[in-house]
A = this chain, B = another copy of it.
Amino acid sequence: MGSSFGKLFRISTWGESHGGAVGVVIDGCPPGLPITAEEIQLELDRRRPGQSSITTPRKEADQVEILSGIDRGHTLGTPIALNVRNKDARPEAYKEMRETYRPSHADFTYDQKYGRRMAEGGGRSSARETIGRVAAGAIARKILKQELGIEIVAYIERIHDISMPAHETAPSREAVEASPVRCPHPDTAEKMIARIHEVRSAGDSVGGVIRCHINGVPAGLGEPVFDRLEADLGKAMLSLPATKGFSVGSGYEGTYLKGSEHNDLFENRDGRIRTASNRSGGVQGGISNGEEIYFTVAFKPTATLIQKQQTVTQKGEPTELMGRGRHDPCVLPRAVPIVESMAALVLVDHWLRQKAQNQSCSFST
């Protein structure tokens, strides 16, 4: 259980790191959307391993195949199944893992939960699972862009203790993509890359914070009381491997303000009701208010190290583990498209929910 997400634009992912394939089926995509395998591939390439010197060297083309739901370049309204075969699987590199628990990985908890696990590369707990999310997210993004003009841009705000300067507005996607580290501030990006190379050499790793901005969301998306927009965004982000925190709008910082400092006053701007400030982060009472939605996600440092670590075997015997396998000293650059994809999935789902309940009854107006 737990491998499905969304209520109306519902995705179900499958796949282990070193099994046959990873993929996703999307149920609920509206018919008639023009979409090609190339558009999906574009997003997958952004999260692909081996795309730059600062990520894992695992070699995977991550080539997507459309199994169903798309015909002559358009969605049919039926389930869209997307599949990506695993290629560069070297099970022999993982022999040790079968019997020894890697610290801060999911080996132990999978064994506790299921009584078994596919040890190679973390099996289902591997971040390869997010391929399905990104493939589905590519379709969700296209819908949002085309129907509502929504733009989602995530980027790295901080790696370890290297932060980009404070800034007010969302950077462009081009600015983000200009650096392999996906930080839109060139000087900071350089320092981040240096830090990643540094920890890689030491067989160590670093984490940081990704920030995401969403513009163009119409007011009215989000369902009180449990399926608030920020609650679903939070769940989406906290379902990503290595995440430890989520905050929306003013977040933890905002709790240092008084109400009189924090409230977003309403004003009439250009004939539209707007807020003068946006500490709410574009969501009030769980529902979008038409302002920019922004949030941050905290990623812990990668658990895999090329260092000797104390641990135990499956039987509880103390032992040492020397990380081999392939090593990704910082997951954040590749996590950027994943964060964007999850945000897109949440938004398109809430947009469909809003359409169902609120926007086309004759009696509603």
Question: Is A161 within 8 A of B256, CB to CB?
Answer: yes
Q: Which residue of B7, B206, B273, B286 is within 8 Å of A239 (Cβ)? A: B286
Does the CB pair B30–A361 fall under 8 Å?
yes
Taken together as a complex, chains A and B put the C-alpha atoms of A30 and B357 apart, in Å, by 5
Report yes or no: B209 in contact with A113, Cβ–Cβ below 8 A.
Answer: no
- The complex places the Cα of A83 from the Cα of B115 at a distance, in Å, of 26
Report the count of interface residues on A (CB-CB < 8 A). Answer: 165
* Chain B residue, CB-CB nearest to A35: B363
CB pair A14–B81 under 8 Å, yes or no, is yes
Tell me, yes or no, whether A364 is within 8 Å of chain B by CB: yes
Would A255 and B158 be within 8 Å (CB), given that A114-B358, A115-B365 are in contact?
yes
Residues in B whose Cβ lies below 8 Å from that of A32: 114-116, 361, 363-365
Check if B68 sits within 8 Å of A112, measured CB to CB.
no
Report A292 CB to chain B, min CB distance, Å.
Answer: 15
Number of copies of chain A assembled together: 4
Query: Using an 8 Å CB-CB cutoff, how does the interface string of A20-32 with B read, 1 for contact, 0 for none?
Result: 1111010111111
Given A3-B27, A298-B247, A316-B273, does the pair A361, B265 have CB atoms closer than 8 Å? no
- Least distance between A19 CB and chain B CB atoms (Å): 5
Task: Report Cα–Cα, A359/B239, bound state, in Å.
Answer: 24
A219, B25: Cα distance in complex, Å: 27
Contact partner of A318 among B238, B267, B284, CB < 8 A?
A: B267
Known: A2-B227, A67-B15. A361 touches B147 (CB 8 A): yes
Residue of B nearest to A208 (CB): B255
Which of B83, B222, B362 is the one whose CB lies under 8 Å from A147?
A: B362
- In the complex, what residues of B have CB within 8 A of residue A4's CB? 4, 10, 12, 27, 226
Cβ contact of A246, chosen from B13, B125, B245, cutoff 8 A: B245
* A337 at the binding interface (Cβ < 8 Å): no
